Copies of this chain bind each other. A is one copy, B any other.
Amino acid sequence: LRREDISAFRQTYLSLHPMDQASVFVSLDPSERAGFFDYISAEEIANMYQNLDKDMQLAILTEMDETYAGDIINAMNVDNATSLLSKLSETTRNHLLQKLNEAKKADVEELLAYPAETAGSIMTKSYLTIRPATTAQEVLEHLQEERPRVETIYYLYAVDESGRLAGVLSLRDLLTHDPSERVDHFMSTQPVTVRDRDDQEDVARLIQYYDLLAIPVLTEDEALVGIVTVDDAIDVLEEEETEDVGEFSATRGATGEKVTAFQAAKKRAPWIVLLMFLGLITAGMIEQFEETLEAIVLLAAFIPIIMDSGGNTGTQSLAVIVRGLSTGALDHIGVLKIIWREFKTGMMIGLSTALVILLLIIFVFDHAMIALVVAVSIFSTLSMATVIGTILPLIINKLKLDPAIASGPFITTMCDILGLLIYFSIATFLLDYL
- Hey, which bits of chain A sit against chain B, CB under 8 A? 17, 19, 26, 53, 55, 140, 143-144, 147, 153-154, 171-172, 175-176, 179, 192, 207-211, 213, 230-231, 233-235, 237-238, 241-242, 245-246, 248-251, 254-257, 260-262, 264-265, 268-269, 271-273, 275-276, 278-280, 282-284, 286-287, 290, 293-294, 297-305, 307-309, 312-313, 315-316, 318-320, 322-324, 326-330, 332-333, 341-342, 344-345, 348-349, 352-353, 356-357, 360, 364-365, 382, 404, 409, 412-413, 416, 420
Q: List 6 A-B contacts (CB under 8 A).
A: A19-B210, A144-B175, A230-B231, A257-B333, A261-B344, A286-B301
Q: Report B-chain residues with C-beta under 8 Å of the C-beta of A420.
A: 304
Q: Which residue of B has the minimal Cβ distance to A344?
A: B261
Q: Report B-chain residues with C-beta under 8 Å of the C-beta of A175.
A: 140, 143-144, 147, 153
Extra pairs beyond A147-B175, A297-B297 (12, CB < 8 Å): A55-B329, A144-B179, A153-B171, A234-B237, A237-B237, A245-B319, A249-B319, A255-B320, A256-B329, A257-B332, A282-B304, A286-B304
Q: Report B-chain residues with C-beta under 8 Å of the C-beta of A324.
A: 255
Q: Which residue of B has the minimal Cβ distance to A285?
A: B301
| Minimum C-beta distance from A246 to chain B (A) | 6
Indicate if the CB atoms of A357 and B276 lie closer than 8 Å: yes
Q: Report B-chain residues with C-beta under 8 Å of the C-beta of A209.
A: 19
Indicate if the CB atoms of A341 and B271 lie closer than 8 Å: no
Interface of A is mostly: helix
- So how many copies of this chain end up in the complex? 2
Q: Report B-chain residues with C-beta under 8 Å of the C-beta of A233.
A: 234
Indicate if the CB atoms of A147 and B176 lie closer than 8 Å: yes
- Among B154, B251, B256, B322, the residue within 8 A (CB) of A316 is B251
- Among B283, B290, B312, the residue within 8 A (CB) of A275 is B312
**In whole angstroms, how far apart are the Cα atoms of A365 and B286 in the complex?**
12
Q: Report B-chain residues with C-beta under 8 Å of the C-beta of A250.
A: 316
**In whole angstroms, how far apart are the Cα atoms of A234 and B269 in the complex?**
35
**In whole angstroms, how far apart are the Cα atoms of A140 and B174 in the complex?**
12
Q: A304-B279, A323-B242, A327-B53 are in contact. Are A235 and B208 (CB under 8 A)?
A: yes
| Minimum C-beta distance from A136 to chain B (A) | 10
Q: A19-B210, A345-B261 are in contact. Are A176 and B143 (CB under 8 A)?
A: yes
Indicate if the CB atoms of B272 and A349 lie closer than 8 Å: yes
Interface-central residue, A254, A284, A294, A345, by most chain B CB under 10 Å: A345
Q: Report B-chain residues with C-beta under 8 Å of the C-beta of A264.
A: 320, 341, 345
Q: Which residue of B has the minimal Cβ distance to A417?
A: B304
